[in-house]
Chain A
Amino acid sequence: MKRFFLLFIGIQLLLFGVELLKPVQEHVVLPFTAQIARLCSALISISDKSALAVGKVLIDRATGFAVSIEPGCNGVEACIVLFAAIVAFPARWRDRLVGLAAGFAAVQALNVVRIISLFYLGQWNRDWFEFAHHYLWQGLIMLDVLVVFLVWARYFPQRLANAHAA
């Protein structure tokens, strides 16, 4: 458990530091965030044609309301936490890769729900938008990370002969 915990913290601090580097922000994080905005716009457009994505900003052309997907809202930090936990857990790399891919999809799927819900919540009531944005969704996303990790760790990795369980 101690080894897992130390690895988890170390990997996380490293990945978080890498994420903050300017070239990584410019060439990876911002283009990725813009793709999330485009995906949200495409999903909203199924029933509401007023949504438009411009870079990382999601705009409602009818009301002029816009949300900008900033750091902490693009799911990257949540994925870093999940990746660190999966890599730190004693498992085969094949199992880890399955966890990383499925976990990334699960976290980003919920994050898209978060962004779309905030997009509409902000147009309905600014107080509830602030509450959901700053507090509630932060907790729900991290709860999602925890559950994805628990599901993966419980059901997927093959037990290793040389691994320390606790």
Chain B
Amino acid sequence: MRLSASPLARFFAVAAVALLLLTVAWRPVSGIAAAPAAWLAATTMRTLFPDWVRSAHGGVARLEVETRLRVTPTAQQRALAAGAGQAVAEDDVAELVLEANPAQPGYGLPILLALLVAARGRRLFRRALLGAACLVPFQAYCLVTELLKQAAITSGVGAQTGFAAWQINLIAYAYQLGALLVPTLAPILIWVWLDRAFFAAIVLEGWLARPLGNGDGS
């Protein structure tokens, strides 16, 4: 079979090239593209955790959450502060500030766009906008779980957040999910929904063309 005769081979080739080009093009504007997710993550943190979140700011290339969680600087941190010309005494107490890079989970956008381009569906621009909007909550999820992981697990002052042990385990699981799976899986699921006609044509036509069997599957 010639390569051009296979819709799957063509789809894969175009998607791979488009992914490369779109990821390169996305990188300089990743901060702007991630601004809605940063805003949503900041709003979520302010709304869900008013007890220990003092303020949260999300925007272009910036997500910062000021908390009421009190930390005592370590010897290493005091030395760093001294190196920067800031005197910090041993008994000084600081408030924890959480930071996340909004662009970090944002690479789902070029994945989604590459799949849409490769599937060659109609109304590409409209579906790209819709898909980008659908990605925002998933990206915000990744950012919120990253901030929660910092507050509840890696800061060392997680007890002040009031989370129970099972909630901390849940945060750890949710964070791993947000760091390892959601950024790449969400664009694919959204694409399957947006291009379900293409998906059905690729999968179901080949599948339905085969004769019925007496299988043991479900």
Residue from the set B15, B188, B202, B208 with the largest chain A CB neighbour count within 10 Å: B188
Q: Which of B36-44, B84-92, B178-186 contacts A (4 or more CB under 8 A)?
A: B178-186
A38 at interface, CB cutoff 8 A? no
What residues of chain B lie closer than 8 Å to A163, measured between beta carbons? 217-218
B5 at interface, CB cutoff 8 A? no
A138 is contacted by which of B184, B206, B218 (Cβ under 8 Å)? Answer: B184
| A143 vs chain B, min Cβ distance (A) | 6
Q: Is the CB of B19 within 8 A of A136?
A: yes
Known: A134-B104, A143-B111, A166-B204. A92 touches B185 (CB 8 A): no
- Bits for A104-134, please: 1 = Cβ < 8 Å to B, else 0: 0000000000000000000000000001001
Bound form: Cα–Cα A6–B19 in Å? 28
On chain B, the number of residues with a Cβ less than 8 Å from chain A's Cβ atoms is: 45
Main secondary structure of the interface of B (DSSP, over half): helix
Interface band, chain A: 35 or more
A24 at interface, CB cutoff 8 A? no
B117 at interface, CB cutoff 8 A? no
Which residues of B are at the interface with A, using a C-beta cutoff of 8 A? 8, 11-12, 15-16, 19-20, 23, 26-27, 104, 107, 110-111, 114-115, 172-173, 176-177, 179-181, 183-185, 188, 196, 200, 202-208, 210-218
- Show 5 A/B contacts (Cβ-Cβ < 8 Å), sorted by A: A81-B185, A90-B218, A93-B216, A136-B19, A139-B19
